[in-house]
Homo-oligomer: A and B are copies of this chain.
Amino acid sequence: MKVCKFGGTSVASAEQIKKVADIIQADPTRRIVVVSAPGKRFDGDEKVTDLLISLAEAALADKDTKGPLDKVLNRYSQIAMDLGLGSEVVAIIAADLSWRLAASKANPSLFYDQMKASGEDNSAKLVSAYLSSIGLPAEYINPLDGGMIVTSAPARVQALPESLHNLSALKDRKTISVFPGFFGFTKDGELRTFDRGGSDITGSILAAAVGADLYENFTDVDCVFAANPKVVDNPAEIEEMTYREMRELSYAGFAVLHDEALMPAFKASVPVCIKNTNNPSAPGTMIVAERDFSKRPVTGISADSGFSTLYVSKYLMNREIGFGRKLLQILEDEHISYEHIPSGIDNLSVILRSHQLTPEKEQRIVNRVKNELHADDVQLISDFSMVVLVGEGMKYTTGLAARATLAIARTGANIEMINQGSSEVSLVFGVLKQDETKILKELYSEFFAPVLA
């Protein structure tokens, strides 16, 4: 049994939904379908989710909602009409939206969740209706009925373990289950949306729950590339990579799948395949637990900007038991997570994502490190980029760090930080943002240049 998730562009129009239907029809083991809300049909188009946010804003501000509501309904009507569906499904969607708009606005956050989730929910109803209309035995599954139970506020939205048990019942259904992504319900029946990775998470949970043979994640790209195609011309396609490689790549700039979304599938050992709705015959990129990594030591190279460094120096720092722990406590008090802590003898740097900082937080952190840890020097420096080489085979390849550092040296850029730990699948370089692109290009040609015969 396969769980297939279709992203926003895959359900953006009738034409796209027909491709989805073809894909489902082509393989009878595709029994569970997770859909996003209709996305953009063309550059400059509006996503239904964004239309819904505007609608929710208007409703909360007690403004006229007719305009924004019509925009949403028109998208669904257009799709339904182009799919040759009757008015019934559009009436259901219209009724659903009126009901949601009439709901309590006492808690604006819950109201937003209600409105946003309608994008996926009604998309699922539409896709299910279309599949039925062409003779495929499909059924829309409401996440409340299916048992997608999530944590209550103020906890971050995450599926509770009992969801896996509840949702496992889907595997025994004779019909194709069409399940909306992006949301679940608390034990008290409140609707909550997942923070990030939305529908990918739903698909991953369903794949884990039913013990799927494969979780197919349909997007609008043929595969995952070994480097950002916007920077590197025609980068190599990744046929297969491990979960760990995917995680390390997504850490710095690879955004095909939100990495956390993979967790449920990862835990249940369900392999994942990234495929293209517009080119389903392309093999895609397989994400597996283990793989043969004999071909290339480096699987991919990613790069991301937006990092800052908290540099702290203090004479005899490494003799001071508890110094690092106290420093991390100060960051924890500011709810800041960090990426790396390269250290010398008398100094250490904490690399963190800059978006977590505000001028006030920076000031508080620098002051506390100076006053409580009696540091000799404390500096917060921004505009760093991380360039990450990822590959399961790297640790078995002597001389790899030399090739990488030599390639960076050829660009004339300085390496501000190197981080390579034992048993790892990545080699991380901290560089100045201004050098990021040229380093990525040079590393790509070092490790992916075609071998001349």
Nearest to A243 among chain B residues (CB) is B315
Number of copies: 2
Residues of B within 8 A of A339 (CB): 318, 343
Residues of B within 8 A of A342 (CB): 340, 342, 419-422, 424
Knowing A399-B406, A424-B344, the reply to whether A337 touches B321 (Cβ < 8 A) is yes
> A403-425: contact bitstring with B at CB < 8 Å (1 yes, 0 no)?
01110110011111111111111
- Label chain A's interface by main secondary structure: mixed
Q: Which of B260, B325, B399 sits near A409, CB closer than 8 Å?
A: B399
Q: How far is the CB of A29 from chain B (nearest CB, A)?
A: 28
Asked if A422 contacts B418 (CB within 8 A), the reply is: no
- Docked pose: A329 CA to B332 CA in angstroms: 13
- Docked pose: A338 CA to B328 CA in angstroms: 14
A349 at the B interface (CB under 8 A): yes
Q: Which of A5-64 contact B (CB under 8 A)?
A: none
> A312-324: contact bitstring with B at CB < 8 Å (1 yes, 0 no)?
0101101111101
Residues of B within 8 A of A174 (CB): none
Stretch of A75-83, A85-93, A144-152, A244-252 contacting B (4+ beta carbons < 8 Å): A244-252
Residues of B within 8 A of A419 (CB): 342-343, 418-419
- Docked pose: A244 CA to B325 CA in angstroms: 23
Residues of B within 8 A of A263 (CB): 315-316
Residues of B within 8 A of A421 (CB): 311, 342-344, 347-349, 417
Q: Which of B404, B405, B417 sits near A422, CB closer than 8 Å?
A: B417
Asked if B325 contacts A426 (CB within 8 A), the reply is: no
- Docked pose: A313 CA to B266 CA in angstroms: 15
Residues of B within 8 A of A318 (CB): 251, 337-339
Nearest to A388 among chain B residues (CB) is B345
Asked if A248 contacts B401 (CB within 8 A), the reply is: no
Asked if A401 contacts B420 (CB within 8 A), the reply is: no
Residues of B within 8 A of A347 (CB): 421, 423-424
Interface size class of A (residues with CB under 8 A): 35 or more
Knowing A322-B332, A419-B419, A424-B347, the reply to whether A414 touches B395 (Cβ < 8 A) is yes
Knowing A260-B319, A332-B322, the reply to whether A345 touches B248 (Cβ < 8 A) is yes
Nearest to A430 among chain B residues (CB) is B422
A96 at the B interface (CB under 8 A): no
A255 at the B interface (CB under 8 A): no
A114 at the B interface (CB under 8 A): no
A335 at the B interface (CB under 8 A): yes
- Docked pose: A336 CA to B428 CA in angstroms: 27
* Complex A-B, nearest 9 residue pairs according to Cβ-Cβ distance, in ascending order: A399-B409, A342-B421, A402-B405, A325-B328, A402-B406, A401-B405, A349-B421, A418-B420, A402-B409
Given contacts A342-B419, A344-B428, A418-B420, 19 further A-B contacts (CB under 8 A): A248-B344, A248-B346, A311-B422, A318-B337, A322-B332, A342-B342, A342-B420, A342-B422, A344-B425, A345-B426, A347-B424, A349-B421, A349-B423, A399-B405, A401-B401, A401-B405, A406-B406, A418-B418, A419-B419
14 residue pairs from A and B, CB less than 8 Å apart: A251-B318, A259-B316, A309-B422, A319-B337, A321-B332, A321-B336, A321-B337, A344-B428, A398-B414, A401-B418, A402-B405, A406-B406, A418-B418, A418-B420
